[in-house]
């Protein structure tokens, strides 16, 4: 358990790309408006819209549909959340002009929409599947997409070595397998216990 919840997450953080230091909203805006990140955002939104339509007929039978939507929107929210802090900091510092910046509003709306949508689809998922099954998929999926999104946003392809990629892959894979196994075992025990109670 120590290996799953301490060692491997540490391995993920250690091998993750080192984000560029952003001090002003102008710096962040320059990265947000790059073509590569816009394609990533459009891809996330397109995939979310497609899966939301598929969920109407298959969401109750396939656990991955609702969870994947949560992961996609969650990763986008995490990447944009840095902008919220900078916007608030700028306003508190007296820079009221940022209120008129359309990119700042896009960041605020993006974070709010991502948070509300995540809760909406997560509640749908919990109606059909046990929380123990969802937890590991949500944790690993969101973290993996955040790392990928961060690489795209800050153009960190050149700084990632083969060792970093292998470390990230091993860390995420071990955590995914470990949490799925632990939660799956817990879910199986609960189901078996419930079935035994019904027999008697």
Q: What is the mean pLDDT of the chain?
A: 76
Q: Give me the mean pLDDT over the 152-181 stretch.
A: 69
Structure tokens at 92: 């508190």
pLDDT digits (tens, 9 = 90+) for 16-43: 445 567 777 888 888 889 899 999 999 9
Residue 42 has a pLDDT of 94
> What pLDDT, in 10s, does the model give residues 70-112?
999 988 888 888 788 888 888 887 777 888 889 889 988 988 9
- Per-residue confidence at 142, pLDDT binned at 50, 70, 90? confident
Which of 8, 2, 3, 1 has its CA nearest to residue 143? 8
Angle value at C-alpha 20, between 17 and 25, nearest 5 degrees: 140
Quote the distance between the C-alpha of residue 25 and its chain's center.
22
Q: Residue 38 has what pLDDT? A: 92
pLDDT at 120 over 60: yes
DSSP of 21-79: P--SHHHHHHHHTSHHHHHHHHHHHHHHHHHHHHHHHHTTT-HHHHHHHHHHHHHHHHH
Q: Are 79 and 153 in contact (CB under 8 A)?
A: yes
Span 53-66, average pLDDT: 88
Tens of pLDDT, residue by residue over 146-155, are: 878 888 888 7
């Amino acid at each position: 358990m120590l290996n799953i919840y301490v060692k491997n997450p540490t391995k993920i953080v250690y091998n993750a790309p080192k984000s560029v230091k952003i001090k002003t909203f102008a710096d962040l805006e320059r990265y947000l408006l790059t073509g590569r990140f816009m394609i990533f955002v459009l891809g996330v939104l397109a995939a979310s819209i497609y899966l939301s339509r598929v969920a109407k007929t298959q969401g109750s039978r396939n656990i991955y549909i609702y969870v994947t939507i949560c992961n996609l929107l969650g990763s986008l929210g995490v990447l944009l959340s840095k902008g919220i802090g900078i916007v608030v900091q700028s306003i508190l510092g007296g820079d009221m002009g940022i209120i008129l910046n359309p990119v700042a509003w896009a960041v605020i709306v993006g974070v709010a929409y991502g948070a509300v949508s995540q809760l909406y689809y997560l509640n749908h998922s919990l109606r059909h599947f046990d929380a123990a099954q969802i937890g590991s998929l949500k944790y690993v999926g969101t973290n993996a997409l955040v790392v990928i999104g961060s690489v795209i946003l800050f153009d960190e392809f050149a700084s990632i070595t083969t060792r970093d990629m292998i470390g990230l892959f091993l860390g995420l894979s071990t955590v995914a397998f470990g949490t799925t196994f632990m939660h799956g075992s817990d879910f199986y025990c609960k189901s078996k216990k419930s079935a035994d109670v019904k027999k008697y």
